Amino acid sequence: MTRTPRALALAAAALVAVLTLAGCTNGVTTGATGDPDTAKIGLLLPDSVTARYESADRPYFEERIGELCPSCQVLYANADGDAAKQQQQAESMLTQGVSVLVLDPFDGVSAASIVGLASARGVPVIAYDRLIQSPDVAYYVSFDNELVGRLQAEALVDRLRELDVDPADGGILMVNGSPTDNNASQFKRGAHAVIDGSGYEVLAEFDTPGWDPGKAQDWVSGQITRFGSRIVGVYAANDPTAGGAIASLKAAGVAPLPPVTGQDAELAGLQRILMGDQYMTVYKALRPQAFLAAELAIDLVNDRRPAGEVEVAVGDARIPSFLLEPLPVRRGEIASVVIDDGFFTVAQLCTSDYASACREAGLT
């Protein structure tokens, strides 16, 4: 896929202006009622262990809604890693009269019941970041998630080869994402597509419940006891699980640390990369993603239905979708990818503890 996040966002904005419901492929109808200029829009995010949701997704989404519809109200809730809690939050928002739900599900299967409740009230649901296993989803806004996994695995395998690590010397631990997250299965599939043909053995792998970095840390500790120096690399599906894995390796006195992957370009992950503890992360441009979801929500409030860039299958249904392009980030790419895009500033990244590493990386 060659589209850039900015290009997708611009294309979406153009579509918003001119296209209507005629292109719908999954039969979902809008539930626009009342005055669209004062509509309530629900934003439901899945957990608090992933920093991006509170630091980026929510404020970007609210910012764009405020620009497009100053008198609209965003109702917000975070499920804190609890599918039942997210269900209750969605029911509360429906009772409060939201016109659209933007839902990043903690559990993509159980969240289908939320879509069912919303559909019964004529309220469309946008699946945000993670796919919901319901044919009645109005839109899906995410990234090319198999590509994320491939980028992580390619960086890891390439680094092992740069270090002249012989596959006979050991193998890779795979710290995957949550088993309830559809994206995690796509990351894993993309990673396996690279690792399985690389010659490097997967020593063991773990699907981290709820993306909990503490559980990732505990599991990696057990694998260090089991495999010791045979661990030559760690595939970690995101930055918090990478942090858990690195904490275990350091606690066990492993030195030098093997290369460890990550995802989301979180501040702590980028700082670990600067310090040499984490090898890479994957940058996903969250502003275009959140802005696009907000634009689609306002479209639905106004009974407009722009076409998707692609379609994603859920059963026999084809969900209009927008899949943005992720980018790999190693130490030398932090400035050109993350800082130049305005995701973090040098001041945020290069605090006193990281000043020396930032100078070495040419950031100050």
Q: Going from the N-terminus, what domains does the chain have, and what CATH number goes with each?
A: 5-137+285-324 (3.40.50.2300), 145-283+330-360 (3.40.50.2300)
pLDDT per position as a tens digit, 103-129: 999 999 999 999 999 999 999 999 999
> Are 33 and 81 a contacting pair, CB within 8 Å?
no
Separation between Cα atoms, residue 171 and residue 322, nearest integer Å: 36
Tokens 């400035």 locate to 335
First to last CA, the chain: 34
- Quick check: 27 pLDDT over 60? no
**pLDDT-derived band of residue 3, with 50, 70 and 90 as boundaries?**
very low
Which pLDDT score, from 0 to 100, does residue 33 have? 58
Separation between Cα atoms, residue 245 and residue 208, nearest integer Å: 11
Q: How far is CA 330 from the centre of its chain?
A: 18
314 forms beta bridges with 317
Separation between Cα atoms, residue 298 and residue 295, nearest integer Å: 5
**pLDDT-derived band of residue 34, with 50, 70 and 90 as boundaries?**
confident
> Are 45 and 89 a contacting pair, CB within 8 Å?
no
Which pLDDT score, from 0 to 100, does residue 226 have? 98
Lowest mean pLDDT among 2-11, 12-21, 240-249, 322-331: 12-21
Higher-pLDDT residue of 15, 246: 246
Which pLDDT score, from 0 to 100, does residue 364 have? 84
Q: Is the peptide bond preceding residue 256 cis, with omega within 30 degrees of 0?
A: yes
Which pLDDT score, from 0 to 100, does residue 15 have? 39
- Class of residue 151 by CB neighbours under 10 A (exposed 0-12, middle 13-18, buried 19+): buried
Instruction: Look at residue 164 and give its three-state secondary structure.
Output: coil
How confident is the model over 339-360, as a mean pLDDT? 96
pLDDT per position as a tens digit, 303-326: 999 999 999 999 999 999 999 999
172 forms beta bridges with 202, 233
Separation between Cα atoms, residue 129 and residue 140, nearest integer Å: 7
Identify the CA nearest to 148 among candidates 322, 364, 329, 305: 329
> Are 172 and 156 a contacting pair, CB within 8 Å?
yes
pLDDT per position as a tens digit, 78-102: 999 999 999 999 999 999 999 999 9
**pLDDT-derived band of residue 192, with 50, 70 and 90 as boundaries?**
very high
Tokens 């699980």 locate to 241
**pLDDT-derived band of residue 4, with 50, 70 and 90 as boundaries?**
very low
Summary mean pLDDT of the chain: 92
Which pLDDT score, from 0 to 100, does residue 26 have? 59
Tokens 């839109």 locate to 139
Separation between Cα atoms, residue 208 and residue 68, nearest integer Å: 38
> Are 177 and 207 a contacting pair, CB within 8 Å?
yes
- Quick check: 206 pLDDT over 50? yes
Tokens 């001041």 locate to 347
pLDDT per position as a tens digit, 276-288: 999 999 999 999 9
- Class of residue 257 by CB neighbours under 10 A (exposed 0-12, middle 13-18, buried 19+): middle
